[in-house]
Amino acid sequence: MEVIVPFSTDRPKSRLSDALSPEERREFARAMLDDVLDAVVAAGGDPRILATDAVDLDHPVTVDDRPLTTAVNAALGARLGTGGEDGAGIDGSLEPVAVVMADLALATPAALRRLFEAGRDADVAVAPGRGGGTNAFVATHPEFRVDYHGASYLDHREIAAEIGADFAAVDSHRLGTDVDEPADLAEVLIHGEGRAATWLRGAGFALDASEGRVAVTRE
């Protein structure tokens, strides 16, 4: 399955600016991207990076500096078309296309396989993020398009209903955890097994279980 991974090279992870310097945010964002790409490949996916600027990777990179929604919709249009022959298989069916965010540092091959399977059964399968975002999805319906503004999970469910597409939600804490805010760093330290968790530990971050939910501290 083709898996588009959007990645912003321009001021990545600005909501982590209280916890990390701009250079650190760049390094950490790259570590998360590398973890996501490894998990996609291990789950049998074929990753294509959709980046806002050139980035050095061993996978195909498409540069598109337009806003995320516009760039992803252009990629979906090129692949799913309007049901015409371009993207259609021999029997006229479209190949599913996945879009997986680059900051899902907890993504594992098992979690992504569940997403891919849901996307083979439904026309649109979405893994919602905490706060109602759309962290990952698979679509085969030719008319499905995204709108990442606001509570996009609810919007995408509505868009699927409007175009008559079967919709499935994928219930995953790992795919639901996009790493945007300082509190999310605790999730990486608790569950992460890759470069992002190693990077955080190397930068002096540790878990702090002294009150309520576990938070992070930095040496």
| Residues at the contact surface with a second copy, assessed by CB under 8 A | 15, 108, 110-111, 114, 127-128, 130-133, 149-151, 153-154, 171-177, 180-181, 183, 186-187, 190-191, 207, 209, 212-215
* Shortest distance in whole angstroms from residue 59 CB to a second copy: 25
Return all residues near 19 (Cβ < 8 A) that are at least 6 apart. 182, 185, 216, 218
Phi and psi at residue 50, to the nearest 5°: -110, 95
Return all residues near 38 (Cβ < 8 A) that are at least 6 apart. 194
**CA gap 75, 88 in Å, rounded:** 15
Total Cβ atoms within 10 A of residue 153: 20
* Shortest distance in whole angstroms from residue 122 CB to a second copy: 14
Q: Which is nearer to a second copy, 52 or 172 (CB)?
A: 172
Q: Which is nearer to a second copy, 7 or 148 (CB)?
A: 148
Q: Which is nearer to a second copy, 2 or 180 (CB)?
A: 180
Phi and psi at residue 100, to the nearest 5°: -125, 125
Q: Which is nearer to a second copy, 93 or 217 (CB)?
A: 217
Bridge-based pairing of strands 97-100 and 205-208 is unpaired
* Shortest distance in whole angstroms from residue 161 CB to a second copy: 16
* Shortest distance in whole angstroms from residue 87 CB to a second copy: 30
* Shortest distance in whole angstroms from residue 174 CB to a second copy: 5
* Shortest distance in whole angstroms from residue 39 CB to a second copy: 13
**CA gap 192, 197 in Å, rounded:** 5
Half-sphere exposure of 184 (CA within 13 A, CB side): 23
Total Cβ atoms within 10 A of residue 19: 20
* Shortest distance in whole angstroms from residue 78 CB to a second copy: 29
Asked if 33 and 7 count as a contact pair (C-beta separation under 8 A), the reply is yes
**CA gap 46, 25 in Å, rounded:** 26
Q: Which is nearer to a second copy, 94 or 127 (CB)?
A: 127
